[in-house]
Each structure stands twice: as structure tokens, then as C-alpha cells.
Chain A
């Protein structure tokens, strides 16, 4: 399917304009993070001098490194938790037959209808009463169970021929071994997709870390950015932008690397 030339030109034009408009906020922030403050105040686009002062300042004045580490720990723990729980549940829904399975599947669907925001008050009380405020447990545990992840992996497990399971039943291979040595390796792509998705959403989480942290010990980088913004709101835009760029960098890199897989995986999990 080749397009006529004039159509191609129109498409490239539209694509470029869209890309510029969409990426502009990020580009502006990126460029500002290297500007001295006078440049920003005078509304320049291209910095007169290139400086790393903003980055030095944000790490200097702010426990940003600490926040980054916290975010990394929280995101990785949530990611692993989601992968383990979702794959176990998906395995049960695909490969095990037992009474009550359909009811439980319905329960999983029902969880999609309960917004986390609507149950945030008792959850906060639970975490507080367990003494999990300012702990990684409090930040991560509520997010391990995940209906979307279960559905996504269920979809992928269903692609595995039933005969493989039957062959291993005849050979006397137990479910745990089949899950570990056959199902997980064969569903690697979907596991990676879900992992990337889980990491992205956990890294970008906002409301819960705001409630579950009261000091800097386990505070995540998003809440750190909120603090930075409210403290430096008046003048130091360069420093704030430097902070924001650092917060965004890991997820953007991850997204650029995994865009194709993510797109395919999300579409599959979402639509079937």
C-alpha cells in the first residue's frame, strides 16, 4: 500500500506538527533544566549558557538520591509481587479445573470495578494500625494483587497448547514444576510486558505514597517532586525542572525500549 506523494507530504507535516506540540512541554523542561535562572526569567528558549548547576543544586539541597532509591525499591518490589501473584492466579484459571473457579474468576472481574481511591480511607487506617507508615511494606503490599495483570497473563497462558499440560500429566510432572519450567518460560514476552507496565505505574504512583509516607525515609521521588515544587515554587524553575527530568528519565528510557512489546501486550490483555 503506497501513498501518492502529496498525501505523504501531508502525513509527514501532520506527524511533525503533532510531535512538536506533544513533545514541547518535555523539551521545554529539558532545556530549562540546563539554563541559568536569568535565562528562564527572561523567557528564553535556547539557553545563553549551558549549565549543570541546576542538577548539582537539586541533588545538593534535596535528598533526591534517596528518593530515587526508594522509588526504585518500591517499583521493583511491586513489579515482582504483581508478576508472581498474577502468574499464579492466571495459571489456576487456565490450567487447573476445580469447583468454584468460575465464581472466583468473576470475583477477579469484580475487583476491576472497585476504584482504589474509593477504599483509600480504610486502607490508610490498616497500614497505620499495622505500623506500616513509612515502610516499604506499606507502600507496596496493597498493589500486589492485580486483576488486569491476571487477565493479561491468562490470555497469554491460553496460547499454550493444552496437550503440553496433558503430556506432563502423563509423565507425572506436578503443577508447580509445570508452572515453573514450562509456563513461565513460554510466557516470557507477556511477563516482560506486565513487568514494564507494573514498573511504570508504580514509579509514577502519587496518591498512595503521599498518604503512606510522612518523612523522607521511604518517600518516593514523585512525592519528593511535590515537595520540591512547593518549596521552590517562586523562583528556581531550573532546579525544579532538573528534578522533574531526573524523575522522568528512568521511565522514559524503559518506555522507549519496550514500546513495541508494551503496545502489543496491553492491547492483547485489554481486549480479550
Chain B
């Protein structure tokens, strides 16, 4: 009798095992099926190109981009001894240095202003976020005019103040600053919107209890707003960094990398090398450098961010 029950149990275990396996297999395929479109496209347009770029960076190529001679790390050696590329790296880092703090500080200022509950604040919020809807091409056209040496408003303003006109886009000392100013303006909208969202999610009871304690406006800003906003700030800074390294459009529109390569940021340099000089190998080596820089930055930011940022 007891033997029989044991027998039955055994049979079940086998059957259950089979059924379980089948169900797991089924749910695996279902999961993969839902993810498949994304996975395929990521593979074709992201992961494969990354490895292909690495591969290309070890070769010389013909005008169509086909590999001709394997040169190992020569491309890397070449770009790191090329004054042009080193200049481009320098320009890129300067550009990042100008735009990231500029964007974040101005956006934070605007977001703090626009977070007050005042009548008509909605209009200001919309206006401040509006640059997000303005494309790089259009924004560059706007700024192109403002920077115009004679008709441009900026020089007219200087003239009225009795200051000598500046060659905003033509003076090697000023070109990168000019591009940076226009870039900050372009990025304001998005950064502002995210920061405002962060500010609005801070619980109002924090401010109310500070009010009861009689805290001043700036005390509240320093002790409540900024610490509570730090996850958002952290995100915004990361995004601004990555955006800055990927800048292309405004350089192409405003200066074409000039004057004297003073605005030749890395993506523009890659573009020129690959699609103007048809040096796909050398361009790929530059692209790999860009990839590594962004990868490192993201990792560093995540590491630092983990410790410093106040997460709710």
C-alpha cells in the first residue's frame, strides 16, 4: 500500500518536472519575443557598430570605408600625435567646462524662480522651457544673426556701451565661448524642465516646518532645496556632460570647426575625418576615444554620485 503511494508520488515528480520545464521554456520565449525587436535593433545599430568601430580603428580604409591594410594601433598613435586631434580634445574639454556648469547654474536659477507659487507662473515656466522645442539648426540660425559682426545685436549692444566690437565667431579667442553661449541657451529648456520637476516633488511640509522655525529664504534654499534636489541635479549634470561631448549641430552650423580649429569638437572632428577626408580608420579611432571618455565619465559619475547624492 505504502509502496504504491510512493510510486505515484514519483511519477508525479517526473511529470511536474517536465511541465515546469516546459512552462519555463515557454515564458522564456515569450519574454524574448517581447524584447526581440529592441534587441535586434540594438544589436544592429549599437552593439555591432561599436565592435565594427573598434575593428575599423585598426585598419586603413579606402574612400568607401572598406578596410585595406591592417595597421594595428597605428591609427591611435597617429591621432595622439596629431596636433589637430589633440587640439580637438582640448577644445572639447574646454567646451564641456564652459557649458555644463553654465547650463546647470542658469537652469537651476530659473527653476528656483519658477517654482514659486505666483500668479501667472505657468507662462514663465512655458517660456523657460521653450528652448527645448527649438532645434539645433534653428537655434543656430538665431544665434548666427546675434553674433553677426556688424548687424548682430550683440555687437550693436557693445557699440552702444562704447565697447569695441567682437568677432564672436571669427575671433579664435571668442569662437568657442560664443558656441558655448548658444549651446547653454539651447540646453536650458530641457534642464530647466527636469529641475523644475525635481523641485516640485519636494514635500511642502519640509518648507512649512522650516517656516515655523523661522528659517530665511536662503537658509531654506541651502538646507532643504539643494539637498533634496541632489538626485535630480546629479542626473542633470550627467546628461549635460554627455550632451556636451556629443555636440555637433551648432558647430556645423555656426563655425564649421573654425576659426583655426578653435571649435573643432570631437564629434565634428570624427565627422570631418570620416565623411570629408574619408579616413574611416582614423575616424573610428577617434570615435573609440569618444566612447571611452563617455564611458569613464558615466562610471565616475555613478561612483561619486552614489556617495554624495541624497536619495530619498
A, B assembled together: yes
Contact with B along A77-109 (1 / 0, CB 8 A): 000000011101101100011111100100110
Given contacts A120-B287, A237-B145, contact A88 B280 (CB under 8 A): no
Q: Is the interface of B mostly helix, strand, loop or mixed?
A: helix
Given contacts A98-B30, A226-B137, A237-B145, contact A121 B65 (CB under 8 A): yes
Indicate if B146 sits at the interface (CB-CB under 8 A). Answer: yes
A146 to B39, CA, bound (A): 10
Contact A22 B188 (CB under 8 A): yes
Chain B residues whose C-beta falls within 8 Å of the C-beta of A237 in the assembled complex: 145, 151
Contact B248 A207 (CB under 8 A): yes
Q: Which of A47-55, A159-167, A260-268 contacts B (4 or more CB under 8 A)?
A: A260-268
- Closest chain B residue to A96, Cβ basis: B31
Contact with A along B97-137 (1 / 0, CB 8 A): 00000000000011001101110010011111111111111
Closest chain-B Cβ to A144's Cβ sits at a distance in Å of 5
Contact B290 A117 (CB under 8 A): yes
Q: Which of B8-16, B72-80, B172-180, B189-197 contacts A (4 or more CB under 8 A)?
A: B189-197
Q: Which of B164-188 contact A (CB under 8 A)?
A: 185, 188
Contact of A111 among B42, B109, B144, B185 (CB under 8 A): B42
A43 to B139, CA, bound (A): 20
Contact with A along B254-272 (1 / 0, CB 8 A): 0000000000000100110
Interface size class of B (residues with CB under 8 A): 35 or more
Chain B residues whose C-beta falls within 8 Å of the C-beta of A40 in the assembled complex: 151
A224 to B112, CA, bound (A): 38
Contact with A along B46-80 (1 / 0, CB 8 A): 11111011001000000001000000000000000
Report 16 cross-chain contacts, Cβ distance below 8 Å, ordered by A residue.
A19-B128, A25-B146, A26-B142, A28-B146, A98-B31, A114-B46, A119-B50, A119-B53, A121-B270, A125-B280, A145-B46, A237-B151, A254-B133, A255-B126, A255-B132, A256-B130
